[in-house]
Amino acid sequence: MRDELQQACFDLARITKWSRKPIDATTIQAFSEQIAQIAREQVSDPLGIDIPLITRAVRYLANAHATPPMDEDTQWFYDMLRVVLEIARPNSGIDEENKEFLRDMRDGIEKSLGD
């Protein structure tokens, strides 16, 4: 039985490999294992990045950003995962000029949440 992170990675892999022709499940499984390994490597106790947070981030990416043209692009996955984790658990200070974009993101998040 798959754990929640592995299932989230499998779902994302299935979305990125979707096409009008049949795709072998072993191909999807192999890709999902690659991205699950990348995801697990992002755990950081000092930043509070744990498996449940990473699982939620993977599910978000699958829902909002994964598309078939990405296919087996692990660099896309790594980069996007790092960005959303950085937003959720900031690792660096932001100067005043760039806080304006953070406010833009907050506005978008609030609209998405319906708050």
Q: For residues 52 and 75, is the Cβ–Cβ distance under 8 A?
A: no
Q: For residues 52 and 58, is the Cβ–Cβ distance under 8 A?
A: no
List pLDDT tens digits, range 51-90. Answer: 999 999 999 999 988 776 676 779 999 999 999 999 999 9
The DSSP line for 2-63 is --HHHHHHHHHHHHHT--SS---HHHHHHHHHHHHHHHHTT-BTTTTB-HHHHHHHHHHHHH
Q: For residues 12 and 58, is the Cβ–Cβ distance under 8 A?
A: yes
List pLDDT tens digits, range 39-51. Answer: 999 999 999 999 9
